[in-house]
Structure formats: C-alpha cells, structure tokens
Amino acid sequence: MRRKLAALLPLCLLAIGCENSQHAQRLERREAIREAHLRNLRGAATGFEDTHWSMSPDEVRARYPEAVIVDGGGLELQSEHWDMPATIRFSFDQEKLAAVTLYLGPQGDLREAHRSVASMLQTKFGEPDETRDSAEEAARQRAVLSALAGLAFVAETIQAVQERRPPDASSLEQMNERALMAAEDAYWDTREYTLHSRWNTSATEVHLLGRRVGDRQSLALSYVSTVLRAGSI
C-alpha cells in the first residue's frame, strides 16, 4: 500500500503543479487583456475637458496645477462651469483616473439649471439613456390614486341611487381626505425632489444628479470609467 501511495505521489504533485501553472497563465492573460483595454481607453475622453481615463495623479496635476490632494488620495480644485461655482474632484483607482465629479452650485431654479446642463451634455452624448424626476413620478402616482378614488365614489353614488338611499358619507369623506393629502404632497414635492439623467458610452457613464431638500439644493455631474470602476474585465 505504501509503495502504491509513493508511486502516486509524484503524479499528484505534477497534476497540482500543472493546475497552478494553468491558473497563473489564466491570470496573466486576464491581466494582459485588462491592460490592453486600459491602453485603448487612454484615448477615450472622460467627457470632462481634456482628461483621459487611467491618467496618473501627476499627469492630472500637470494639467491642473491648482489641484490639491484631498482625503482618499484624490485631487480637487475650485473652478466655474456653466456660470456656476464648481468644485471638481478627480478620483483614482490604483493611481489611474477613474472618475471626475463636478459639484455645481446652482443659485436659481434647480430644474432650470439641471435642464440647461443636460441640454449641453445632450449635444455631445445624445439623448440620455435614463431620466428621472421624483416629483413627476409622485404626481403620476397621485393622479392614478385620485382617479381610482373618484371611480369608487361614482360607483357608490350609482349604487345608492339604485338602492334609493343617500350615498355613503364615509366615501365622500375619504375622497376629500385623499384630495387634501394630495395637495399637501404636491406642495412638498416642490420642496423635496430628485432629478437624474444618465448617459452611457463604451468607456464612460455620465450622471447628472440634482437634489432639493427644503431650501438646500445641489447639482452634481459625474463621469465614471466603466472599466476602472469595476476593477476587472
């Protein structure tokens, strides 16, 4: 028995060695494909001025000498875009530029600012792949609920006439309560809402996100590498 095991041991070691070698080769091929893809992306603009994916922090600072290092290893600078003050942050993944975010400071109507920036982006990237307005979505939901409540009240009224009785007072009260709640919700939707537009390209995701909460509002434009963000191919 020991002789058989001793004879099999070299074969087992050889098999393990082959498997490890094949695994290492697969990892090398995968890394080579990823690096080749990243080299191709060097020529793909992020969409923000003349930066390119996989630029090093030193390369970015060479183009933006006023940029300063911030927590997390990114770079940041103060500027102005589309007549709005802007804080621009460059984020890196393993010393390669992976995202650029502009934190804009809209002074007037947020919807108008979002619409204006989205229009400019549309000239470069075309129609957005996704648009979202939380206030409009809520308004559509309220319209559906209001219509259902109205139908329920009409049905109750018709049934009351057929049965020669007064309509159920609770149905009218419920409809009035829903109308009051809808009016309150509509007011708050002008005070708290989210606007989002998204564009996709082969190398970049572009997000334009506006938020308003009470008297505070913000508008951010982000360019994100689809490869470096994922970390692998």
The tens digit of pLDDT for each residue in 135-192 reads 675 566 656 556 666 666 677 677 777 777 777 767 666 666 666 565 555 545 556 8
Per DSSP, 200 falls in state E
The answer to whether position 78 is within a domain reads: no
The answer to whether position 102 is within a domain reads: no
The answer to whether position 140 is within a domain reads: yes
The answer to whether position 49 is within a domain reads: no
Q: Contact 97/54 with Cβ under 8 angstroms?
A: yes
Q: What is the distance between the alpha carbons of residues 153 and 169, in angstroms, rounded to a whole number?
A: 10
Say how many domains are in the chain: 1
The answer to whether position 154 is within a domain reads: yes
Sequence-ordered strand ranges (E) for the chain = 68-69, 75-81, 84-93, 96-104, 130-133, 192-200, 204-213, 216-225
The answer to whether position 227 is within a domain reads: no
The answer to whether position 168 is within a domain reads: yes
The answer to whether position 32 is within a domain reads: no
Structural domain that includes position 166: 136-189
Q: How confident is the model at residue 106 (pLDDT cuts 50, 70, 90)?
A: confident
